[in-house]
Structure formats: structure tokens, C-alpha cells
Structure 1
């Protein structure tokens, strides 16, 4: 149905001097591509489809009610946070969300992504903008049911303990940043989760599964989003 996976809108350089551009993915939604790495913030097979499939269907929907503390590894475009807010309002969840990001996107990029229009929630445009404009390392009251704390730091510096119910592990792929998919990083994720807490990721690499298991997670393979055969979900026993 959708065509033009590599539609160029504009090019820009990020804080770390990597050239980035906005592309249109297979489901019609957009994402940011890092040209030097040939890597995208979201799947080129469908940015919104991937976010829903991995993080909502196999993550958030395990928590049908009450308060949910979420840690996102790779806040990036804010798409996962926006969809989580949308779903929380529909299900009457109370979300405390921590998004960790080393290299924030620009407001110009956020506006070009047009996620609120794609999700048919134009009323959330100002809220989405507030997410990106919120101060770093301070909790922002985005809505009555959604509190956001953005942390600008390296993922390997995370040191929270027994705090989160759910982790969205959405770092750049192991092909370009293998040091983010190691036992050392997943040990920090294990400590950050509460008992029976859940980590979901789009990755299904054998090395990732083994690293998760090595630090104590119970890991299951699940059907992947469009363009991927499998994904992983890990539970802290």
C-alpha cells in the first residue's frame, strides 16, 4: 500500500557530527536515518508498526491497570513515549516514564516526523512538543496520567535499582553499537527492574539472547514486527 521507503525530506548533522535525514518507512510513517551507519531510529519496514508491535503489544499490554514505571533505552524521536501516552489514556494507566538519550533529536526533526498526524491524534501535538522541550533530569508533568523524566547520558551510566516495571530497549542495533548489547549493560537493566519486571526489544540476535540469559533473565522469542521474523522479551524472575 505504501511506497517510497527512502523519501528524503532534509539532511542535518547531529551533535556527534553524524549526518541524519528523515525518511518515510513502509507503513507511511517517518523516522530518522543516520546515513553514516545506514541505521534508522525505527524500522524502515514501518516505524509506527514496529513501535506498537514490540513495545505496546508485547510490553505495555502486560500491565492492564494501575501505575507502570517505564524506562526507555533510546528516547530518540519520542515515538514510543507518545504511543505509550496515547494507550495509557485509553486504558486509564498511570505512567512514570524515564527516557535515556545521549544525542537528542532537534525540534525541527520532531516536527518533520509528523507523528501526531500519523497516529490521528492532532490534539497531542502540543503535548508531544512539551515532551521534547522538557528540561533534562527533571520530572515533567506531561498530563494527569503521564510523568516524564528525560536523562541525557550514556546507557552504561544507568544505576537505578528495583524501580521499573517495564523497559523498552530501543538502542541502535548491535551491528553499529555492539557495546550497548552486552552482559554489562543488561546486568544494569536487570538491577533496574522490579521482580517480574519485563524488558522488550526488537532484537532477536542469538548473542543478545545469551547475554540476557547470562545476567539472570528468562528470555522468550516472539514473532517480530514487519520485516523481522522474531523479537525478544525478557522477564526478571
Structure 2
């Protein structure tokens, strides 16, 4: 997979990857760093904590470890807020070191620069094993497909697969039902995807669906709440 990848720079100065085989980037061209903060932190973790201030630890499932940006920002968030997070991520095609070692996310914000070493630690961590990464962040990443993974009860889902037009098998109602069934009551799913079909399918599998403003370069995003 890495042979088909090349590093690109998005509009906020942060890196993303472009998959030449799929003709698809890992992030919105408007800014990878800003996109992850917007979708996963602002409309994901921050929103969930606002509605569940006393529930700890927070259990997160990520569809697509990819560049590690969502996981790394979640680690930073957990440390800054001193809220424990149990993070479960899957990625059937992990990046090789020659790719992930060049990613510049740790240089994007001076306020979190001291967390920079954790980004490569996240990538270098053993697959298919649990790991205590920091005082407030425990992670398990698995080299497995979404179809085959066993899911744990989850509070927040970051659904970050490639677009439905590129990976339709990741967006079927059957697979969405599997993921949404793992959500605890009050749990949320956030995704950059804003198709009408996705929203209809999320409603059909039991979520209340919101259309939210998208990150820079994208008009809308989607969030679903478990009743």
C-alpha cells in the first residue's frame, strides 16, 4: 500500500497522503490538522464530554488509523483535559516508517510541540496489543478489516474510511449497523462524510442524525447520536 502513497501538503500547512491507486487523499485539501480537530475534537470528544461530564474513561473506536493524526490529537486532548481515554483503532494497511516519520503534525502548534514524540510512538507501537501510551491514553490498534474486527462497547466513533465512492464496502448499511450497535447509549459517531445515503442509513440503524458545518474546505459533515 505504501508504494501507492505520497505525502502532500494541505492548505493549513499540515501533511496528508495521496493514494495514487484510489486517486484519493487521506484528508480534505482545506487542512488535515484543522479537519481532525474540527470533526474529532470539537464535534466529537468535546461534545460528548459536555453531555457526559462524569463518565470516565471515554472509549473511542476509530475506523482507519491512517496517518495517526486522530489518535495523536486524542492523546493530546486526554493529557490536556486529564480525562482517561481507551482508544481502539484498526488499519489493514499500516504506513511504513519512511512515510510516517516525515509527517509534520507535531510542528503545527507550538502549544503542543512537546507531544510530538508520541506521534511516532503511536505508529511504532505493536499491532494487535494493548499499550499504555501515557497517563491518560491507553491504545489498542489492530491490523484487521472492519468486517472482521470484534468491537467493544464504545462512546465515540471516528468514522474515517475512504469516501463511499472509493470504498463502498466500508459504508454499507450492514457494516454501519455493526459499528453503531457497539455504541453505548448517548454515544456518538462523527464523520467527514455528508452524503444523503449515509444519513438515511444511520437513521435506519438507530441514530439521530445531525448535519453540521464542515471543516475548512468542506461545507458539511455528519454526526449521529445513539438514543
TM-score for the superposition, normalised by structure 1:
0.89
Q: Secondary structure at 1:125's aligned position in 2?
A: helix
Q: Does 1:149 align with 2:146?
A: no
Matched with 2:32 is: 47
Tell me how many residue pairs correspond in the alignment.
Answer: 221
Residue-by-residue CA offset, 1:185-228 (whole Å, 9 max, x unaligned):
11111111111110000011001111111111111111111111
**Conserved 8 A contact 1:159-1:192:** no
Residue-by-residue CA offset, 1:117-162 (whole Å, 9 max, x unaligned):
123333223322211111111111100100010011111223325x
**Conserved 8 A contact 2:36-2:69:** yes
Gaps of 5+ in 2: none
- Aligned residue among 154, 157, 175 for 1:164: 154
TM-score for the superposition, normalised by structure 2:
0.93
> C-alpha distance in 2, partners of 1:125/1:60?
21
Q: Does 1:139 align with 2:124?
A: no
> C-alpha distance in 2, partners of 1:110/1:205?
30
Matched with 1:6 is: none
CA apart distance, 1:41: 1.1
Q: Does 1:35 align with 2:26?
A: no
CA RMSD of aligned residues (A): 1.3
> C-alpha distance in 1, partners of 2:220/2:165?
17
Matched with 2:62 is: 72
Q: Which has the higher contact order (CA 8 A, sep 6+)?
A: 2
Matched with 1:5 is: none
**Conserved 8 A contact 2:79-2:135:** no
> C-alpha distance in 2, partners of 1:122/1:26?
20
Matched with 1:9 is: none
